[in-house]
Amino acid sequence: MTTNKKECFVVGTRPDIIKMAPLIKKMNPYVIHSGQHRELADEAFKIFDIKPDTDLDLMEANQTIISFMVKGASAISRVVEEIKPKRIWVLGDTMTALITSWVAFALEIPLVHVEAGLRTHDKRNPYPEEIFRVMIDQIADIMFTPTKTNTKNLNKERVTGDIHQVGNLIVDALEMIKPTLSEKRPIEEPYVLMTMHRRESFQKDMGNVFGAVKELSKKMKVIYPIHPNPNVRKVAKEIGITTIDPLNYTDFLWYLKHCEFVMTDSGGIQEEVPSFDKPILILRKVTERQEILKSKLAFLSSLESKDVYEKVRILSKMKDVKYNSNPFGDGKTADRIIKIIEEKYE
Ligand code: UDP
């Protein structure tokens, strides 16, 4: 495929831009940036040298889910009505993906959902993403799933669109960057790499984890590139833990390559650690990426301080671990998707 402006991709957050990047580079579609994230999204576009065709700049300080949905749906539909694409593409479970799927349905344009079928089966965990992805898959005409478990989830829900199992684009994305990462360590001393930003943890759980991190920091360096979300920053400040600004994707993978282990509530990072052979403490009570738990190098947490601290103790003893392979992808997902579209849907 060369230039293909009849395919319209709608993205807007750091993870969906990173994951769609390998496909965007190969397909050259029309790209709408919702602006759901501002600086984080701009950094991600820059790393992959992608310029969106339209930037809706929808992000507002302290915006609620509802206000973003209302404003976003009408802004996205205006652009879509003008460009009249053959298909609309979204990834994962973001607000941008959900409202775009409504627009596609309302305008009767086929919807492609990449990274379909991920489920915890707990509607408040992750919140609001679990319900968002269920709704998107009910609307989607073509679904690309990363794993067998994801495909099974969709079959159980009796979705009506076509399902193709292709792997997760995150492995394609990280493999574009991995060969460029320096062998030189970002810092000399051993460190733990951490991120935490999920909405369902804002209240008690985040405080518990940050309390454990404060204790851990007395023994070991913790590098925590903190999300710009003011709710997260407020808790970090109240507990008094040390943080750094978000890293661009290349730098983040560089820190990942050299860390001892990872603590995170991020979905994308759970998918990345196997490619770097790092043990991981998932700062969540459930995960839709259950494939990683089979490795025995990944643990969930009850998010009580004591539990976090105990799991950290186990992880800090795990040295030079190796995953058999990355269970989420092999770096060829973009090619697989393009082949399926060309052969079955052109
Ligand atoms: N990431 C990054 N810089 C950071 C922290 C994370 O580039 O400072 C990347 C990370 O490698 C992963 C993605 O951002 O690919 C994950 O995004 P996030 O945690 O915001 O969302 P989630 O994966 O939970 O949807």
pLDDT band at 2 (very low <50, low <70, confident <90, very high): very low
**Same domain, yes or no: 98 and 228:** no
Structural domain boundaries enclosing 265: 179-316
The CB of 301 under 6 Å from ligand 1? The reply is no
Q: Distance of CA 323 to CAs 13, 41, 151, 292, Å?
A: 29, 30, 23, 9
Q: Separation of 238 CA from ligand 1 center, angstroms?
A: 23
- Predicted confidence at residue 201, as pLDDT, reads 84
pLDDT over 70, % of the chain: 99
**Is the per-residue pLDDT at 88 higher than 70?**
yes
Residues 92-103, mean pLDDT to the nearest whole number: 97
> Is residue 324 situated within a structural domain?
no
Q: Give a yes or no: residue 130 inside a domain.
A: yes
186 lines ligand 1 (CB under 6 A): no
Q: State the CATH number of the domain containing residue 135.
A: 3.40.50.2000
149 and 13 in a common domain: yes
- 322 in any annotated domain: no
Note whether 190 and 164 are same-domain residues.
Answer: no
295 touches ligand 1 (CB under 6 Å): no
Judge residue 25's burial from the number of C-beta atoms within 10 Å of its C-beta, 0-12 exposed, 13-18 middle, 19 or more buried.
middle
**Per-chain mean pLDDT for the chain:** 95
Ligand 1 center to 86 CA (angstroms): 30
- Same domain? For 208 and 305 the reply is yes
Q: Is there a domain that residue 321 lies in?
A: no
**Distance from the alpha carbon of residue 254 to the mean position of ligand 1, in angstroms:** 13
Q: Does 284 have pLDDT greater than 50?
A: yes
In a domain, 228, yes or no: yes
Q: Give the residue numbers annotated as catalytic, written as ranges.
A: 93, 115, 129, 197, 199, 227
The token pair that represents 35 in the structure block: 């602006």
105 occurs within a structural domain: yes
- Determine which of 154-158, 202-206, 221-225, 262-266 has the lowest per-residue pLDDT on average: 202-206
234 and 120 co-located in one domain: no
Residue 60 has pLDDT above 90, yes or no: no
Mark whether 297 and 336 lie in a shared domain. Answer: no
When divided into structural domains, the chain yields a total of 2
Task: Give the pLDDT confidence score for residue 59 in this predicted structure.
Answer: 86
pLDDT at site 54? 97
In a shared domain, residues 118 and 238? no
Residue 323 lies in a domain: no
